[in-house]
A and B are shown apart, each in its own frame.
Chain A
Amino acid sequence: MLTLLVASLAWGAAGIPEPVAAEARKSGESFVRLSFRFGPDTRSIPGEDRQAVQDAADRCYERAMSFKWTGITVDPQGSVLCADPCVPLWRVVGVEAEHRDGRKVALAPAAVFVDWNALLFAPSSAPEAPVPHVEFHDARLALGEPFYRIEVMLVSRDRYLQISPALVELVPLGPEPEYRAFFGLKTEDTPFGGALLLNGAGAAVGFQTEYDLWDGPGGLTTYHPAQLRAGARLDAQGWRDLCGALDARVARSARKVQIHLRNVKDEEEDDDWYYARDDEDRKVLVCYGIAIGGGRFFVPIDLARELAHQITRITVDAGGREREAPFIGMFAEWGALLIGGAEGVEPIELRADAAPRRGKLFLVHRAEERFGRLYQETDYNRWFNVRIGTGEEEMPDLVKRVNAPALLFDVEGGLIGFYLVRRTIDSPAAVKRWEQVASLQRLAPILADAEKAFDPLARPRPAREEKRPVWLGIEFQPVRRDLMELKGLLGPTREGRIGLLVSHVYARSPAEALGLARGDILLKLVQEGESRPVELAARRGGSGIPFYWGRSMRGEDDEGIEPSRLWRPARNYLTDLLTRIGPGKKVTLAYLSGGQERQADLVLEEGPDDFESAEKLKERTLGLYVRNLTYEVRDVLRLAPDDPGVVISMVEPGGKAAVRSIRPYEILTHIDSTALRNVHDVRAALDAARRDGDDQILLRLWNLGETRIVAIDLAAPEGE
């Protein structure tokens, strides 16, 4: 210890030993500036509209791009070793090394180290003279031994040599770990292209890169020269062979999958998805599934539950034909589906122990279809770090960014996992999403008993059913501090931060059955089996919508109030929350009534039809769309349950109804003398009038107590 101390004092007092400084300057001559040239996106197909598929990030690769990267020459031919810059491999069409003396040498990728995040580049032509290079020595460093890290920093066109002295402060006890030669250098600095390590005599004894690839104490990855020489590598041919084998392997087990959706409204469209259209102009999600045995395809695709409801059919490509594939289930925690239809397709092997290994290279394969063409890309990646995520789960960080979904393979071509969207439902009020590695080690048991892992509510549903939210049967407004202060309820509502003030209770609703009344304040609810209650706190308007009277009520020459949609949407903060919990689930509701705290248990149920899910009818000849009068519409319009009428939901511009100034949200109560209970009555009345040869019918329209009669003819418009 004393020797060590004296040594370190002497070291500190003497500065950097001259041999080290001399060797450092000499080594500095071996550092090169690297420029990478990128080519066009190889996924592009000539003739296609590239603008449509290329995002802004891609555009930076269209021109030769030089960024600050360095490498070191390691042999007289001028081969360059550098840390992996983690660029998309398929983009690199050329690399150039600029030496200290200004010479520029073209390089070609020579090898990727399988176990270390470093690349080797070879000169495209032999040099005229031996190139200054680093000679590595196999010396090992002992605990307490000083060493020096050499970097060359590029600032504009200049180069700066930096020497950082350090001590070996960490060594493994017991047998050396697999990765060996771990110097345990503790530093926050991250060398761009790599740093050279010199011992006290100035000999090069190691090469250091960014990223912590090993399961050791924090530090940077340091390579012993012996490992660099002996380590497994993937050269260009090897890479091409591997990619080819991978494509072939994937082709045997993967098939194109088309998920047909009901007409999704534009605002529901996810910009990340590419939607094709089918013959009826409905949206189709195109993706790929991989056969995993049992006649099933594993389809990595992240769908929101609401989108799953909209699935009308699923097909898989069967040798150029489309074959129906039944929906089996959608995973609750992973962005993936299971579908059938994989009979006759070679399943891919699912090895239960397969997983990406830290630091070790693995392959990432993505396939997507755009404009009818298949794009496949393969790149390599590694994971280097572990983050602790939600629920203290370990989540590896990848050195290169990957877009989910992707298939992960080892260098032998075996599937080791997927890169998927992961979901957790923190509480019924919050769903979190992120992308992460899903190894087979983790997924295989789930796939073996997939049913348990499915989201029971994420299933295709008929159009009307999927629109019906789970309800309590109330309208509400969020509480406010001043409101609660005046009512003396600041305590239970946490200073007015939580609570939904009930403003209306619908008849024959769960709320009515519970005895909830106007003025009650809902505070929390707890799902059976959960310990954490959800505090009810709608921040934006609650179930309210801005109230619009239409044209001015005070204006003269007023033709009457423009009918407006007075009723509130059935989907609001509360129904969204209850729907996420799901029908059939039991919850306990805590609320205030008359200032007293109470609790009530209830089993959640889907609400009755509302305006969105109401049965509807499109009457093309008249240019009218009508829907049944539903509970919330009747209530706000003060219509009795047996008052006749259907709601005019849309009027076709220029149609017969529009010409007669029939407007949306008027209530159609009668056709001739027939009272209309629902859209079926509308259809029946129109059919009867046509059968009777009536030229004209009388529509009776109602709008907040005002009625009028409109005569309209039944003849089809010209051209129809």
Chain B
Amino acid sequence: MRWSGVVAALCAARALLCAQAQAEFERVIAETQERVFPGVVFVKPIQESFDEGEKRKVIVYGSGVIISEDGLVVTNHHVSEKAIEIRCVLSDRREVPAAILGHDKETDLALLKLALRPGEKSPWVPLGDSEGLREGQFVMAMGAPFGFVRSVSLGIVSNTRRYLSASPYNLWIQTDAAINPGNSGGPLVNVRGEVVGINARGVFLADNIGFAIPVNRVKEVIDAIVRHGHVPRSWTGVQLQPLRDFEKSIFIPAERGVMIAGVDRRSPAEQAGLKTGDRILRIDGAEVSGMYMEDLPALRRLLAALPPGRAAEIAYVRGGKEAAAALVPVAKGKIEGDDLELKEWDLTLKEINRHTDRFLAYFQPEGVFIQGVKEGGNAAASGLRYNDILQRIDGEDIPDLAAALRVYQRASTLSQGKRMVLCEVLRGGYTQWAVLDFNRQSQEGAAKAGAKGSF
């Protein structure tokens, strides 16, 4: 009898402890949410899209987090890119316009500034430290998934150093906290209410696989944007490859350094004499290690941080022998070309950028390509296609968007019935000719009184 009483008492005590632990847990979650939520904003940009062969305004939504009392908001680049207008809904449900201070496509980050009332101070959230994150720790994703504002989802850190190939300069925090469209730009928060990441991605059709940009990388980017308006990086033209790739069962027989997988044509690395197959050991005397994929973003940051115009010493191994090269990086410059809509022609153009459009740039390092062709439009009917590199129109070279615009404006003066131009494009490495007939558009346009071009 005595034992049963003891057992009963122990059970009761356990239940009480569980209940208390649960209550404590819920209190922590609630307090964290209360602390952070005031700094979470619903971001509503109106973006310009050139994808479908015409310039269109697209309303998107995402999230952001206010990081200073004067209204600096961190969000994702893909939320705010090409926005012509941004409105943020604050926790007190006020809608406040915001301006873009700067963005960084390569880390998918952007910095906005809320147009607060004079003297107004906004609630804000401190940025934490992602270095101390461990797998299994509780985190919360806050934001507006599918427009459901002020949502919070709870999960754990699934991986602190996830490599995604599209992100050259940062690793990712993987979490099973629900991150859905609309969460982008919102904070990933630890139980102490610190922002440890910025939510940015999910995996289509996956359950509970989301990714956030580690806050330490965010801080670097924000700092650069505040100081320079963008993130200045150098370009060397070196493509890196780790020594071990478990996914592809590739194991390079070496223990130090990082492999050069490729050297871009006409790049500083090519000029320095570096070649595919060289293994970099040191950069300006500092040992480098590219054993695994996860090591590459840091190495790329290192190379990107080299001052442009100043030679850096690269120690490398080739054919078993050590050597050195003087690598003089250059400023990376734009990483995305500008856009242009040619309305009457029902197509949109974009400048070829060697960083973003690598395969087009292989065939033609500079120039313009067709970014979008409107379905059923004049360009589509003429046989022009997405990714055609526009080389000549009516015999005139098209080296840039300005040239394309000139030709377009001149062609718009052609009389009805003769509104055709001969386009020479490069498609898949081969030249093709097509006659772009835009008589139809002009007929429709003439029927609508007062219609104007939109470029």
Give A contacts to B, CB under 8 Å: 475, 477, 480, 482-483, 485-487, 501, 503-504, 518, 544, 547-549, 553, 556-561, 566-568, 635-638, 659-661, 670, 673, 696, 698, 700, 704-711
**CB-CB < 8 A to A559: which residues of B?**
165
Report the minimal beta-carbon distance from A497 to chain B, rounded to whole angstroms. 16
Contact yes or no, A518 B435, CB < 8 A? no
Bound complex: CA of A561 vs CA of B437, how far in Å? 32
CB distance from A279 to the nearest CB of B (A): 38
Identify which of B151-159, B187-195, B400-408, B424-432 touches chain A: B424-432
Is B359's CB within 8 Å of the partner chain A? yes
User: Can you name the residue of chain B whose Cβ is closest to the Cβ of A543?
Assistant: B430
Chain B residues with Cβ under 8 A from A553's Cβ?
A: 357, 359-360, 387
Docked pose: A485 CA to B417 CA in angstroms? 12
- Chosen A-B contacts, 24 in total, with CB atoms closer than 8 Å, are A477-B433, A480-B435, A483-B422, A483-B434, A483-B435, A503-B431, A503-B433, A547-B385, A547-B427, A553-B360, A561-B359, A567-B429, A637-B429, A660-B250, A673-B319, A696-B251, A706-B239, A707-B239, A707-B262, A708-B241, A708-B261, A709-B261, A710-B250, A711-B251
Specify which chain B residues have a CB less than 8 angstroms from the CB of A486 in the assembled complex.
420, 422, 435
Q: Is the beta-carbon distance between A568 and B363 smaller than 8 angstroms?
A: no
Residue contact A566 to B429, C-beta cutoff 8 Å: yes
Whether the Cβ atoms of B248 and A477 lie closer than 8 Å is no
Contact B437 A482 (CB under 8 A): yes
Bound CA–CA A548/B428 (angstroms): 8
Query: What is the CB-to-nearest-CB distance from B327 to chain A, in angstroms, rounded to a whole number?
Result: 18
Please determine whether A700 and B433 come into contact, CB atoms closer than 8 angstroms. Answer: no
Q: B264 within 8 Å of A by Cβ?
A: yes
Chain A residues near B429 (CB-CB < 8 A): 566-567, 635-638
Q: Is B91 an interface residue (CB 8 A)?
A: no
In the bound complex, do residue B239 and residue A711 qualify as a contact, i.e. CB atoms below 8 Å apart? no
Contact of A709 among B252, B420, B432 (CB under 8 A): B252
Let me know if B249 is at the binding interface, CB within 8 A. Answer: yes
Cα distance, A700 to B259, chains bound together (Å): 12
Cα of A6 to Cα of B248 in the assembled complex, Å: 105
Question: Would you call the interface of chain B mostly helix, strand, loop, or mixed?
Answer: mixed
Closest to B357 in A: A553
Give the chain A neighbours of B387 by CB distance below 8 A. 547, 549, 553
- What A residues does B360 contact at CB under 8 A? 553
Which B residues from 349 to 374 make CB contacts under 8 A with A? 357-360, 362-363
Q: Does B265 contact A (CB under 8 A)?
A: yes
Distance A557 CA – B259 CA, assembled complex (angstroms): 21
Chain A's nearest CB lies how many Å from the CB of B426? Answer: 10
Contact A636-B166, Cβ < 8 Å, known A483-B422, A660-B250, A709-B252: no
What is the CA–CA distance of A670 and B239 in the complex, to the nearest angstrom?
17
What CA separation (Å) do A670 and B201 show in the bound complex? Answer: 38
Q: How far is the CA of A289 from the CA of B279 in the complex (A)?
A: 68
Residue contact B276 to A544, C-beta cutoff 8 Å: no
Complex interface bits, B226-252 against A, C-beta within 8 A gives 1, otherwise 0: 000000000000010100000011111
B277 touches A673 (CB 8 A): yes
Q: Are A704 and B362 touching (Cβ within 8 A)?
A: yes
B85 to chain A, nearest CB (A): 24
Do residues A504 and B430 form an inter-chain contact, with CB atoms below 8 A? yes
- Name the residue of chain B whose CB is nearest to the CB of A673: B319
Query: Known pairs A547-B428, A553-B357, A706-B239. 17 more at Cβ < 8 A?
Result: A480-B435, A482-B437, A486-B435, A501-B433, A504-B431, A547-B427, A548-B428, A558-B166, A636-B428, A660-B248, A660-B249, A670-B277, A673-B319, A705-B264, A707-B261, A709-B259, A711-B252
B17 is an interface residue with CB less than 8 A from chain A: no
Complexed CA–CA distance, A567 and B360 (Å)? 16
**Least CB separation from B320: chain A residue:** A673
Q: Which of B166, B248, B264, B420 contacts A557 (CB 8 A)?
A: B166
Cα A711 to Cα B250 in complex, Å, equals 5
